[in-house]
Amino acid sequence: MHDIKTIRDDAAGFDAGLARRGIMPVSRELLELDEQRRAALAKQQELQAGRNALAKKIGEAKRAKADTAALEAEGARIRAEMEALDAEGPRLDAVLRDTLSKIPNLLDPAVPEGKDETDNKLVKHWGETRDFAFPVKQHFELGEVLGLMDFSGAAKLAGARFTVLKGALARLERALGQFMLDVHTNEHGYCETIVPLLVNDASMFGTGQLPKFAEDLFQTTDGRWLIPTAEVSLTNLAAGEILPAAKLPIRVTALTPCFRSEAGSAGRDVRGMLRQHQFYKVELVSITTPEESEAEHERMTRAAETILERLELPYRRMLLCAGDTGFSAAKTYDLEVWVPGQETYREISSCSNTRAFQARRMNARFRAGEGKPDFVHTLNGSGVAVGRALIAVLENYQNEDGSITIPAVLRPYMGGMECIAAA
């Protein structure tokens, strides 16, 4: 959400910032709405002052036993005009807020120009890809040969883009999630949190999913929404709060199922587990001061990288370009893990600094000392996507006979098991 005062101060700069995202200038429309809103407020105040003065005159006339009919008629006219403005002011407020709510965040100057993912900037590369001495299989081929990944059963239960995991693969996915939580809570200072999976409109609005991305979400019959990521629940814990600066940064994490309709993904990744309606993810959220948010962004991204390095999975860090940066983000790093079955890197984590954009939408503020409250900065990232980590482990640790070597860091979570093989 943007501050209309900032747009008033630098309309040209605001439009230039949106132009980096390929959005046409909107400041004139916004400022016209703002001027109408302010004019309505000023007129209402003027009428109220006139009404007060008129009431005084009527009182004086009555005490003098003079005719008050003309004065009372004028009072009725003022009252009718004020009643019309009572509705007009909130209407203009709502129109301005609705218009502002659909405008994405302005980008950090460090974000490179570009239209799509092909223009993203490589920041870091870690690990060496494995040289396989046999034909590499994709994760769904491996899972089905093991008899532990069932897509037809899932389709019978729920339709396409669902998966049933069984036995050792189900345990391996659970182990991945637990391993991630342990690292982030014990080493990175995040507080493990269990949050609602169903949230209200205000929560979805606060983090930027509504109103723009409603078609990508699942809604229940009672009007609540299934979370597309625990970012929604975790970040909104600060909604409406004024936090003491001494309590910042707040770092929270949650392992939850996530639900996405994938409305814009028809025909993409239709086989396997890469793009599902339901999947597990460990989410990281930080709430901090404006001065610390850039350093917190680097810290969060590094925390996610640690998971991939402990699993010994090759990855790269990409700085997203202007055309690929999400709606609420000012700056985003994607971590892409090597998937040998596709011979490419695929996103497994996205770490974003939204600055004060989400905080304004949810009115999340902090106070330093006796000063005026200011908006916090909010950050979110995957630490990491559990299902995609499972895919990466299966494909990078596969053996010629179709078995899967379990990464050393996961073996304590697997009861000491070192390999998953077909029964």
Residues recognised as catalytic: 260, 275, 347, 350, 388
Q: What angle do CA 173, 178, 181 make, to 5 degrees?
A: 130
User: Helices H, strands E: what count in the chain?
Assistant: 12, 18
Residues 120 and 234: their CA atoms lie apart, in Å, by 28
Nearest to residue 376, comparing CAs of 363, 385, 388, 387?
363
Nearest to residue 177, comparing CAs of 273, 245, 256, 95?
256
The DSSP string of 38-54 is HHHHHHHHHHHHHHHHH
Cα separations in angstroms, 297 against 1, 233, 284, 290, 292 = 20, 19, 11, 11, 9
Residues 50 and 184: their CA atoms lie apart, in Å, by 62
Q: Report the C-alpha dihedral over residues 62, 67, 68, 69, rounded to 10 degrees.
A: 150
Cα separations in angstroms, 355 against 17, 101, 252, 396 = 15, 15, 17, 36
